[in-house]
Amino acid sequence: MSETLPSQQPIGIFDSGVGGLSVLRAIRAELPHEDVLYFGDQAHIPYGSRGKDAVRDFSVGITRFLLNQGAKLIVVACNTASAAALHELRLMFPDISFVGMEPAVKPAAETTQSGKVGILATPTTFSGELYASVVERFARGVEIYTSSCPGLVEQIESGALETDATRAILEDALNPMLAAGVDTIVMGCTHYPFVIPLIQAITGPSVRTIDPAPAIARQTRRLLTGSDLLNGQSQLGELRFFTSAEPKNLSQLLLTLLGETGLVTGVRWEQGSIIPD
């Protein structure tokens, strides 16, 4: 039997649910030959209103699971998990490269004309040190307006990208920002890029939305290249999905959100570890 080269191992990506698919979509465009293992912790969604310790424990359990499945690099495709756990994950797994999310305050601050920027993210992301640090480093002289869009993650998880209820949540978040003169809106939660068309319909074309996923995909490429882990296969990479909730629900959403599908396996949590069903 031939041995699998480290470069031929898959990339591991995780999120509380389907949000990380916005990151997978960009990774797919940037690195089409990579095999991918995607984990959605849908049994625990939403992470954004849970405490930091709980989200950190979930993130550690999922990382262990993905590494056991052969992942060569981990993308924490969740701002909330990055805020709660990225630092600890890097300490706990020093031989593994991690790519994490942080609210894209820097490109927003560099390009805003009005000097007013809106950020949409979860309460746990806003209360974390990572957010405080990007604002401190990059938002000098820029006024920041924030909203956690209560209920929006749940709408997106149910595939309701264009319903009246989703529009109402977004209008509540965006109207005060628009009234204040915001011209740039940062997607600080990986679920939110899926409602960018609706956001743009509300804001009009003069407001710019920033989805950090393409930059995350480029960073993933840089790290793989730097450690000689780029997959050299010529065929399109294989996608495999795991969910801690009902596999059928995730399967159904994949085509809508990602535009393609793959094998979806259900898993369950048992005492902090993930067990295949």
Task: With contacts defined by CB under 6 A, name the span among 14-22, 58-66, 92-100, 233-241 that binds ligand DGL.
Answer: 14-22
**Catalytic member of 11, 45, 78, 216:** 78
Name the packing angle between helices 79-92 and 52-68 (round to 10°). Answer: 60
Length of the chain as a residue count: 277
Q: What minimum distance in Å lies between the beta carbon of 105 and ligand DGL? A: 15
Q: What is the DSSP letter of 6?
A: G
Closest to 34 (Cα-Cα) out of 222, 261, 221: 221
Q: Which residues in the 89-148 window bind ligand DGL by CB under 6 A? A: 122, 125
Residue from 10, 12, 40, 48 touching ligand DGL (CB under 6 A): that is 48
Would you tell me how many other CB atoms lie within 10 Å of the CB of residue 270?
9
Q: What is the DSSP letter of 18?
A: S
Q: Which is nearer to ligand DGL, 16 or 63 (CB)?
A: 16
Q: How buried is 150 (Cβ within 10 angstroms: 0-12 exposed, 13-18 middle, 19+ buried)?
A: middle
Question: Do 71 and 9 touch, CB atoms closer than 8 A?
Answer: yes
Alpha-carbon span 46 to 52, nearest angstrom: 12
Closest to 152 (Cα-Cα) out of 199, 221, 110, 108: 199
Alpha-carbon span 180 to 188, nearest angstrom: 19
Beta bridge pairs of residue 266: 243
Would you tell me how many other CB atoms lie within 10 Å of the CB of residue 158?
14
Q: What minimum distance in Å lies between the beta carbon of 125 and ligand DGL? A: 5
User: Is residue 78 a contact residue for ligand DGL (CB under 6 A)?
Assistant: yes
Question: Do 198 and 170 touch, CB atoms closer than 8 A?
Answer: yes
User: Is residue 184 a contact residue for ligand DGL (CB under 6 A)?
Assistant: no
Is 149 labeled as catalytic in the residue annotation? no
Task: With contacts defined by CB under 6 A, name the span among 6-14, 44-52, 127-135, 161-169 that binds ligand DGL.
Answer: 44-52
User: Is residue 191 a contact residue for ligand DGL (CB under 6 A)?
Assistant: yes
Q: Which is nearer to ligand DGL, 57 or 230 (CB)?
A: 57
Residue from 14, 38, 47, 145 touching ligand DGL (CB under 6 A): that is 47
User: Is residue 62 a contact residue for ligand DGL (CB under 6 A)?
Assistant: no
User: Is residue 189 a contact residue for ligand DGL (CB under 6 A)?
Assistant: yes
Residue from 9, 16, 63, 155 touching ligand DGL (CB under 6 A): that is 16
Q: What minimum distance in Å lies between the beta carbon of 113 and ligand DGL? A: 27
**Catalytic member of 26, 105, 121, 189:** 189
Q: Which residues are catalytic?
A: 78, 189
The residues binding ligand DGL (CB under 6 A) are: 15-17, 19, 45-48, 78-80, 122, 125, 153, 189-191
